[in-house]
């Protein structure tokens, strides 16, 4: 069986370090690994509209931001098909049929949707489109017969729901769809990168993000203002590592060679942590170390972004071509779905012949 990747992001803002370690960086590696027959990367604008119906301009503005973030991280349209969800009508049609295979109570049990409903204070006024977005996400994945969905752990319930839909569809209508698997980030610190304020997640509304497109100075300021251990007041105080954002980021970004370059007095991260726990290591020193590491990672991304920003019509054209390619693939799957469901009346010559027979008797 072919190995196919599909994944994507909602264009509700520029992409940040949480996206980068949680998914983006891995995608680029997977794209370049040669292990996959196809890679589809989707800008999920239709999904973004499920809870931004009153603000289409925000989504529209952020499509190009996300596309620039993709390209500057190294996603390459020669290797990956990058496309815009809303331009593929076939996805809506698949969703309409999948809806018959999912119960309301099953959707209500989806932990990610539950958390999002709480976060947005929807309570009883949940838009139906938002409530059912896991079904639409199953269409995104199955339309491309994706085997592999690289994503963060918050997407696990969506993949599970997709697998259930696939099994149900195949058991009723015959083997048609492919069951996908999620591919989680390898490093556990990357599963969910906290915000700079120590809150559980980077989120634009909390203002605790480091964006891939932040300037060097913006990144430095955010790092120097990061949440650490509130009990670590004087340098000589013993400090905590658990829940200390600076150390969580180091777990995600620090590699052994960074010590040789920036902190040669330490053999590695364990020794740095030990020193912090014992006391005698100040936050500023650790933050400066983290800043050097992040700048090293982000500088090439910033440089590439500047280049792509010089040709915005070219970026839209890349999206248009990607969308055309993706649409053909989705249309092929939809054809298969329609014939499996026996709603392909006009293509079904046997049907027409047998009905003709029946009425001429
Ligand atoms: N739900 C994803 C997010 O919140 C975006 C998304 C839409 C997606 N469709 C997808 C991710 C299909 C993976 C596969 O960012």
What six digits make up the tokens of 16? 């940040």
Asked if residue 13 has its Cβ within 6 Å of ligand 1, the reply is no
Please say whether the beta carbons of 42 and 7 come within 8 A. Answer: yes
Domain boundaries, the chain: 4-192+312-353, 216-308
188-202, 261-275, 281-295, 301-315 — which is least confidently predicted?
188-202
Residue 31 Cα to ligand 1 midpoint, Å, equals: 18
Residue 31 to residue 35: CA distance in whole angstroms? 8
Of all residues in the chain, the percent with pLDDT exceeding 70 is 98
Digit-coded pLDDT (tens) for 129-143: 999 999 999 999 999
How many CB atoms within 10 Å of residue 74?
18
Q: What is the mean pLDDT of the chain?
A: 94
Asked if residue 183 has its Cβ within 6 Å of ligand 1, the reply is no
Please say whether the beta carbons of 208 and 196 come within 8 A. Answer: yes
Asked if residue 151 has its Cβ within 6 Å of ligand 1, the reply is yes
Digit-coded pLDDT (tens) for 73-95: 999 999 999 999 999 999 999 99
pLDDT at 192: 76
CB-side neighbour CA atoms (13 Å) of 196: 22
Report whether CATH 3.40.50.620 matches the domain 4-192+312-353: yes
Residue 26 Cα to ligand 1 midpoint, Å, equals: 15
Report whether CATH 3.20.20.70 matches the domain 216-308: no
pLDDT at 189: 64
Residue 55 to residue 60: CA distance in whole angstroms? 9
Digit-coded pLDDT (tens) for 185-210: 777 666 678 999 998 788 888 889 99
How many CB atoms within 10 Å of residue 72?
22
Residue 1 Cα to ligand 1 midpoint, Å, equals: 23
């Amino acid at each position: 069986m072919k190995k196919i990747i599909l994944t994507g992001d909602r264009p509700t803002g520029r992409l940040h370090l949480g996206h980068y370690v949680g998914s983006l960086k891995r995608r680029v590696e997977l794209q370049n690994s040669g292990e996959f027959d196809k890679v589809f990367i989707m800008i999920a604008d239709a999904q973004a509209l499920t809870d931004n119906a009153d603000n289409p301009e925000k989504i529209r503005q952020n499509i190009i931001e996300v596309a620039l973030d993709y390209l500057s991280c190294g996603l390459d349209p020669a290797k990956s098909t990058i496309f815009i969800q809303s331009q593929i009508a076939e996805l809506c049609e698949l969703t309409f049929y999948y809806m018959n295979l999912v119960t309301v109570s099953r959707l209500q049990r989806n932990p990610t949707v539950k958390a999002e409903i709480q976060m947005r204070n929807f309570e009883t006024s949940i838009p139906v489109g938002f409530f059912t977005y896991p079904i639409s996400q199953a269409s995104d994945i199955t339309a491309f017969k994706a085997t592999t969905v690289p994503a963060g752990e918050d997407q696990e319930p969506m993949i599970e729901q997709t697998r259930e839909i696939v099994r149900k569809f195949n058991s009723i209508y015959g083997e048609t769809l492919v069951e996908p698997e999620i591919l989680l980030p390898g490093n556990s610190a990357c599963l969910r990168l906290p915000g700079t304020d120590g809150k559980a997640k980077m989120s634009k509304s909390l203002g605790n993000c480091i964006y891939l497109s932040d300037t060097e100075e913006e990144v430095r300021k955010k790092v120097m203002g990061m949440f650490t251990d509130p009990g670590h007041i004087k340098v000589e105080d013993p400090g905590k590592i658990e829940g200390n954002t600076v150390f969580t980021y180091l777990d995600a970004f620090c590699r052994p060679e960074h010590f040789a370059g920036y902190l040669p007095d330490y053999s590695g991260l364990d020794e740095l942590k030990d020193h912090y726990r014992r006391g005698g290591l100040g936050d500023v020193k650790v933050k400066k170390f983290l800043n050097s590491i992040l700048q090293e990672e982000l500088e090439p991304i910033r440089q590439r972004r500047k280049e792509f920003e010089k040709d915005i019509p070219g970026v839209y054209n890349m999206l248009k071509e990607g969308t055309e390619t993706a649409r053909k693939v989705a249309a092929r799957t939809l054809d298969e779905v329609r014939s499996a469901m026996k709603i392909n009346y006009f293509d079904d010559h046997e049907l027409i012949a047998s009905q003709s027979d029946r009425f001429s008797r």
